[in-house]
Structure 1
Amino acid sequence: MLKFFRKIRKGLVEERKISNYILYAIGEIVLVVIGILIALAIDNANEQHIKREKEQVYLVGLKKEFETSQTKLKNLIAVNKKSYEDSKKIIGFMQDQENLPNEEELSNLLYNALAFDISYNPNNSLLEEMINSGSLKDLSNPNLRVLLTNWISNIEDITKQEAMLDHERDQIITMFRRNGNSIKTIYDLTGVSGDLGLPVGKEQLSNLHLLQSTEFENNLLMFILTSITTETLHYTPLMQSMNEILATINGEIKE
C-alpha cells in the first residue's frame, strides 16, 4: 500500500500539484499513525491478556492455600476447645469434693487439657512469595489486596496470643515436675506409655491431691481464660476473615 502511495506522490510532484501532494502527505502520515496505534493496541491487549492469565494462576494457587489453612484452623479450634472444656471439668471437680473423679478419669482430663500445643501454621508460601516479589499488585481487585495484607498482620497477632497461651500451659506442666506429682501416672493411664514403648508401672502415684491445690486451680483458671480468649478474640475473627478472602477469590476466578 505504501508503494502505491509513493507512486501517486511521484506523479503529483511531477504534475506540480502541490496542494494535492500536501493532502496526500498528510494522509500518509495519518495512515502511519493509525498503523502505530493499532500495533500498540495489539501489544497492550496481549500484555493485558498475559497479566490476566498470570492473575488467574495466582488466584487458583491462593484458593488452594487458604482452603488448606481453613481446614487447619478448624482442627485447631476443635483441639483448643477440647482443651479448655476438659480443663473446666477439672475445675468443676475442684468445686465439688464429694464427687471426685477416679485416677484414670483425671489423667484423661489432664492429658486432653495440656498435651497439645495450640499453634496455628497456615499455608502462606505463595502469598509471602507474592508480597516479597511485589506481585501482589498483579491482583486487579483492590479489596482482595487489602484483605491479604491484613491477613499477614493478623497472623502475627495470633502468634503473640499463642505464646501467652503456651506460657499458661507451661505454668501447669511445671507443677508436674515437682515431687508429689506424676506425669508417668498420666502416661500410664491414658495409654501414652504403651505408645512410646515405656513400661507401665504396677502402681501409679496419685495426682488427685491437685484437686485441692489453690496454686493448681489458679494456674488452670488462667489457662482456661487465655484459651477462650484465643478462640473468641483471635481464631473466630480469623476464620471470618478467611471466609471473606475465599469468597472474594472465588468471585475473581474465571471458570
Structure 2
Amino acid sequence: MLKLFRKVKKQLIAEKKFSNYLIYAIGEIFLVVIGILIALAIDNANDNRIKREKEQVYLKGLKEEFDISKIKLEELIKVNRKSYEAAQEIVLLMDKKSFPSEEKFSQLFATAFNYDIFFNPNNSLLNEMINSGSLKDISNDTLRIRLTNWISTIDDIANQEKMLGEERNNTVNIFRSEGYSIRTLLDNTGMSKEVGIPNNQNPVSNLGALESLAFENNILLFIITSQSTETEHYAPLMMSLNSILETINNELEQ
C-alpha cells in the first residue's frame, strides 16, 4: 500500500498536478493517522487485558479471604449468642430463687464467660492492596468503596468487642472480689484436669453468687452488651460481607 502511494506521488509530482497531489497528501496523512490509531487501539487492548488479568487475580484472592472471614463471623455469632443465652439462663435462675446444682451453675458460668469474642477477618491481601495502592486496580467503583469501608468497619467492631470484653471481666471479677471459688468452677467443668490441678477435696460453693446484686448487675450489663454486639454490629457486618462477596462473584463471572 505504501509503495503504491509513493509511486502515485512521484507520478503526480512529475506531471505537476498540484491539486491531485494535495488530495494524495491528505490521503497519506489520513492513512498514517489510521495506522497510529490502530496501533494505539492494539496497545490499549493489551494494557486492558493485562489490567483485567491482574484484577481477576486480586478478585479471586479477595473472594477466598472473604469466604473464610464469613465462616469465622458465622461461628463467632453462634459463640456470642451461646454465651449470652447461658447468662440469661443464670438470671432466670436468680429470679426463680431456685438454685441449680453446683455443677449446673459452673457449666452455665463457663459457657457464658469462657470465650473471648473477637472477630479476626482474613484481610492480608486487602491490606496489602491498600498499602501498595493496588486497590485502584479494582475497576468496580462500588466494590472499591465497600472494600475501603470494610477496614473502618472492622475497627468499629474491635471497639465494641473491647467493651464486651470489659463487661465479661467485670462479671468474672466478682468471683475474685467476693470470695467465690474459681477452683470450684474449674473442678465442675473438668478444666482442673486439663491444667494438671487435682480437684479440691473441700470445694467452696458458688451458689451464693445467685443472690448477689453486684453479680446480677454485671451479668445484665454483659447480656445487653453481647446482644448489642450481635444486632448492631455483627448483623450489619454480615450484610456488608455478603454484599462484597456478591459483587466480587459478579465481577469474576464477567
TM-score by length of 1: 0.95
String of CA shifts for 1:142-180, please: whole Å, max 9, x gaps: 221222222222111111111111111111121222362
Contact 2:86 2:111 in 1 (8 A): yes
Contiguous gaps of at least 5 residues in structure 1: none
Contact 1:56 1:254 in 2 (8 A): no
String of CA shifts for 1:168-224, please: whole Å, max 9, x gaps: 111112122236211111111101111122222223211111111100110111001
**Hey, what does 1:218 align to over in structure 2?**
217
**Hey, what does 2:82 align to over in structure 1?**
82
Contiguous gaps of at least 5 residues in structure 2: none
CA distance in 1: counterparts of 2:24 and 2:40, whole angstroms: 24
**Hey, what does 2:94 align to over in structure 1?**
94
Contact 2:55 2:137 in 1 (8 A): yes
Structure 1 stretches of 4+ with a deviation exceeding 3 A read none
Contact 1:65 1:124 in 2 (8 A): yes
CA distance in 1: counterparts of 2:197 and 2:7, whole angstroms: 100
**Hey, what does 2:105 align to over in structure 1?**
106
String of CA shifts for 1:103-153, please: whole Å, max 9, x gaps: 111111111111110011111111122222222222222221222222222
Please state how far the C-alpha of 1:4 moved relative to its aligned partner.
3.3
Relative to structure 2, which stretch is displaced further, 23-32 or 77-86? 23-32
CA distance in 1: counterparts of 2:229 and 2:47, whole angstroms: 46
Q: Which amino acid aligns with 2:120?
A: N
CA distance in 1: counterparts of 2:253 and 2:243, whole angstroms: 18
CA distance in 2: counterparts of 1:79 and 1:51, whole angstroms: 42
CA distance in 2: counterparts of 1:218 and 1:254, whole angstroms: 53
Q: Structure 2 matches for 1:86-165, cutoff 5 A?
A: 86-97=86-97, 99-165=98-164
**Hey, what does 2:242 align to over in structure 1?**
243
Whether 1:33 and 2:38 are equivalent positions in the alignment is no
CA distance in 2: counterparts of 1:83 and 1:193, whole angstroms: 21
CA distance in 1: counterparts of 2:203 and 2:111, whole angstroms: 19
CA distance in 2: counterparts of 1:250 and 1:52, whole angstroms: 15
Contact 2:90 2:105 in 1 (8 A): yes
| Number of aligned positions between the proteins | 254
Contact 1:12 1:18 in 2 (8 A): yes
Whether 1:72 and 2:77 are equivalent positions in the alignment is no
Q: Which amino acid aligns with 2:88?
A: K
Contact 2:174 2:214 in 1 (8 A): no
Please state how far the C-alpha of 1:72 moved relative to its aligned partner.
0.4
CA distance in 2: counterparts of 1:43 and 1:86, whole angstroms: 64
Contact 1:182 1:205 in 2 (8 A): yes
Give the match's secondary structure for 1:253: helix
Give the match's secondary structure for 2:253: coil
**Hey, what does 1:58 align to over in structure 2?**
58
**Hey, what does 1:5 align to over in structure 2?**
5
Q: Which amino acid aligns with 1:232?
A: T
CA distance in 2: counterparts of 1:46 and 1:105, whole angstroms: 68
CA distance in 2: counterparts of 1:34 and 1:254, whole angstroms: 34
Q: Which amino acid aligns with 1:192?
A: M
Q: Which amino acid aligns with 2:19?
A: S
Contact 1:168 1:219 in 2 (8 A): yes
**Hey, what does 1:207 align to over in structure 2?**
206
Relative to structure 2, which stretch is displaced further, 54-63 or 110-119? 54-63
Give the match's secondary structure for 1:120: coil
